[in-house]
Amino acid sequence: MNKRQLHIIIMGAPGCGKGTQAKQIVSNFGFVHLSTGELFRKKYSQKNQETIAFKHAIDKGGFFSDEMAYQIIQDFISENSEVEGIIYDGFPRDIAQAKYFRKHICTNPIVIELKADEEQLIDRILKRASKKNRKDDQSEKTIQHRMELYRKKTYPVVDLFAKEDLLHTYHSEGKIEKVANQIKELIEKMQQKH
C-alpha cells in the first residue's frame, strides 16, 4: 500500500451528490474514484446464483456483505497503488467497515460529508433513475428504505469521524461548482500537510 496516497471518504445520504463531487475531485486532482456500487455492478454483471442474490438485495435498497466490500476495496487499492489519491464513495457504510478502514487502509482519512434536504434527495434520485435506468432508484419505497438504512447504519459512521475530528461537512443543495471549490480548497490544504 502506498503510504503517500491520500484517502478521501465521501459520505452522505443517497442522492446527495457523492458521485458528482467525486468526479470533480478526479477532474481537479487526477485521483481515482472507487464507487463500491459501480464496482459491484461491473464485477457481478455476470449471472450466477451468488451474483443474482446479491443483485436482488441491491435492487431492493440493501447492501452487500462486508466480506464482499472488503475484497472489492482491497482489489481496487492493489490495482491503483501508484495513484496519488483514492476517493471512496459508498464505503465505509457502517461502524464495522469504518473500523476495518482505519485498521487496514488508512488511520487518518479525509472524510467529506455532503448534506441536503431529504425531499430534495428523493427528487434527485427519481430523476437519476429515469435518466440512467437504475432499478435500485425507481421506487420511492426503495429510496425510503435506503434513506432509513443510511440513518441507522451509516450516519453513526459520520458521528464517529466527527468525534475524531476527521469530518468536513458541506451542504450539497447549492451549485455543484461552489461545493467542488470548497472541497478542492480542503484537499489542497491537506496535500500540503501530507
Report the candidate in 53, 49, 18 with the shortest Cα–Cα distance to residue 36: 18
Q: Is 62 within any annotated ligand binding site?
A: no
19 is in an annotated binding site: yes
Q: Is 151 annotated as a binding residue?
A: no
- Report whether 182 belongs to an annotated binding site: no
Residue 87 and residue 8 in contact, taking contact as beta carbons nearer than 8 Å: yes
Q: Using H for helix, E for strand and C for coil, what is the string for 10-68?
A: EECCCCCCHHHHHHHHHHHHCCEEEEHHHHHHHHCCCCCHHHHHHHHHHHCCCCCCHHH
* Residue 41 assigned ligand-binding role: yes
Would the annotation count 16 as a binding residue?
Answer: yes
CA atoms within 13 A on the CB side of 3: 0
Does the annotation flag 85 for ligand binding?
no
Any binding-site annotation on 17? yes
15 annotated ligand binder:
yes
Does the annotation list 92 as a binding residue? yes
Residue 23 C-alpha cell reads as: 468526479
51 marked as binding residue: no
Q: How far apart are CA 74 and CA 76, in angstroms?
A: 5
Query: Which positions make up the binding site?
Result: 15-20, 36, 41, 90-93, 97, 128, 134, 146, 174
Query: Which positions make up the binding site for AMP?
Result: 36, 41, 90-93, 97, 134, 146
Query: Which positions make up the binding site for ATP?
Result: 15-20, 128, 174
